[in-house]
Amino acid sequence: MSTVPSAPASQGSTTTAGKGKRPRPPFGVPALSVTAALIALFSLLPLGYVAFMTAATGWDTAVGLIFRPRVGELLGNTILLILITVPLCLVLGVGGAWLVERTVLRGHRVWAVALAAPLAIPAFVNSYAWVSVVPSLEGIWSGVLIATLSYFPLVYIPAAAMLGRLDPAIEQSAASLGLGPWAVFFRVVLPQLRIAMTGGALLVALHLLAEYGVFAMIRFDTFTTAIMTQFQSTFNGTAGNMLASVLVLFCLALLLLEVRSRGTARYARIGSGAQAKAVRLGLGVFQLPAQLALLALTVLAFGLPFWLVLRWVLLGGSDIWDAAEFIPALLQTLGYGLAGALATTVVAFPLAYLAVRHPGWFSKSLELSNYITSSLPGIVVGLAFVTISIRLAPGVYQTAGLLIAAYVLLFLPRSLVNLRSGLAQAPKELDEAARSLGKSPWVAFLKVTLRLSAPAAAGGAALVFLAIVNELTATLLLSPNGTSTLATEFWSKSSEIDYPGAAPYALLMILLSAPMTYLLFQQSKKVAGQ
């Protein structure tokens, strides 16, 4: 991102900026810091809930509940699921990105979008599509199949973006030293993708830990399905809380593992001049196998589930479009999505502003606290809000405000990352220049900083909206009585094996998600410098 030099002051000017004193922001740094600190403390509520419930249970009881055979079974299922699914997603994501960005693949621009398209289909809708055709699907391998097809784009998108940004000069130098294409890929290209691969692998693993609908449909027990079962049978039982504590520790362990696996090596181009253009490798006789492989992957991950949803819609006919059920679910989904996106953007602004304009250990610590909380599964955040609201503020339980607050905690980083990039493109020098021309702090902020960061804020809000539309577990736990969203109505009907009745809700979620998925893909390319 380019930096903008500060505007020179007019001759004879006696402005504050001309004296070298930095103007204060209109809202004041102390007030902003206090607000951001309160937001960070609020975001730590789920972790505090887990710690409190573990301590309140008592050491002997907690040990007995944690070290029992059922927990060992769930732990084995979860570890096995991650150990199989994550490598498969890495192979498909990195392999697809390399074919699209580094080879003479016919139609590579079409394939670039097609490989990101499966993110438009919520994972539990993907599971519904497969189960509606093959009801016998169950167990670990069914979970691996559906999870891999649903989540490999989480690796593909950052890997493709990073491949497009990397300077190919290193690869060309390696080739000139006699290394073949495969040696160049494994010894030069792959190490440069470490950050994209570890980040994508972390996202896939966290999604596996948080996912409920996919594994409930195929009757495969994970921590999330077990916690939901405990909650439904004993409401806020001690056993469910202990399962949640193990799940939280698992998530934190994955975060630490990802940080350590990044390594310390950095790949950057230093020097002037334009970056060399990558020389795409010819596929030769492998052109047809590559096309067939990508076709099979996109058909299985996107084409087949989308067609099955359309098939159930056609089989259901006009009877499944019941306005009394369909319209309220759509309107409430849009309402919660818009309100949650707006609230998340507003809450993220103080954190993003401090991180960009006043970087340091304080702002970084506040930002990190939100990333940690957002890595927790929705069911843990939901349980925390259920327990805290019932004990401390019973009137807040099952209200729209509480549900939106949970959305804010779950999806805050999606807005925070975008706001940071937007504020970085609105340097403080421009704000100072506006004030030197006589504008008040608030006018300068609104007309310069807010205006320049608005597109990035809108992009982050769109991603939060997408996440809320497809959110299931926290909504099931916290939504007010009588609430019906597309996700909850879909879940209610699919749980009753009413596949035609669930199809309209699935189709609408896909149609709402598709443009947001495309926005995410384009944004990743923009961030990568393409």
Question: What average pLDDT does the chain have?
Answer: 81
Question: Is residue 103 helix, strand or coil?
Answer: strand
> Tell me, what's the pLDDT at 299?
95
What are the structure tokens assigned to 490, written together?
């879909």
How sure is the predictor about 274, in pLDDT bands with cuts at 50, 70 and 90?
Answer: very low
Checking if the pLDDT of 12 tops 70, the result is: no
Query: Which residue type is seen at 408?
Result: V
How sure is the predictor about 277, in pLDDT bands with cuts at 50, 70 and 90?
Answer: low
Separation of alpha carbons 37 and 27, rounded Å = 15
> Tell me, what's the pLDDT at 481?
87
Plot region of 416 (φ>0 → left; ψ -120 to 50 → alpha; else → beta): alpha
What are the structure tokens assigned to 277, written together?
């253009």
Give the pLDDT confidence of 112-129 residue by residue, as tens digits: 999 999 989 999 999 999
Give this prediction's pTM: 0.81
For the segment 437-455, the average pLDDT, to the nearest whole number, is 64
For 461, other C-beta atoms within 10 Å of its C-beta total 24
Cβ-in-10-Å burial (0-12, 13-18, 19+) of 315 comes to exposed
Give the pLDDT confidence of 370-388 residue by residue, as tens digits: 777 777 888 888 888 988 8
Helices (H) and strands (E) in the chain — how many of each? 27, 0
User: What's CA 7's distance to the chain center, in Å?
Assistant: 38
> Tell me, what's the pLDDT at 54?
81
Cβ-in-10-Å burial (0-12, 13-18, 19+) of 65 comes to buried
What are the structure tokens assigned to 299, written together?
């058909």
Checking if the pLDDT of 8 tops 70, the result is: no
Do 149 and 184 form a contact (C-beta atoms < 8 A)? no
254-279 burial string, b = 16+ CB within 10 Å, else e? bbeebeeeeeeeeeeeeeeeeeeebe
> Tell me, what's the pLDDT at 428?
65
For residue 281, what is the DSSP state?
B
- Domains for the chain: give ranges and CATH numbers: 37-264+285-527 (1.10.3720.10)
Alpha carbon separation from 213 to 27, 110, 125, 228 (Å, rounded): 44, 31, 8, 11
At residue 471, what are phi and psi to the nearest 5 degrees? -75, 140
For residue 318, what is the DSSP state?
G
Checking if the pLDDT of 231 tops 60, the result is: yes
Give the pLDDT confidence of 486-524 residue by residue, as tens digits: 999 999 999 888 999 999 999 999 998 888 888 777 776
Give the pLDDT confidence of 160-191 residue by residue, as tens digits: 888 877 766 666 676 666 666 677 777 777 77
Cβ-in-10-Å burial (0-12, 13-18, 19+) of 44 comes to middle
Hey, CA dihedral for 361, 364, 366, 368, is it positive or negative?
A: negative
The residue written with tokens 């006699």 in the block is 178
- Give strand pairing partners of 281: 103
Question: Is residue 398 helix, strand or coil?
Answer: coil
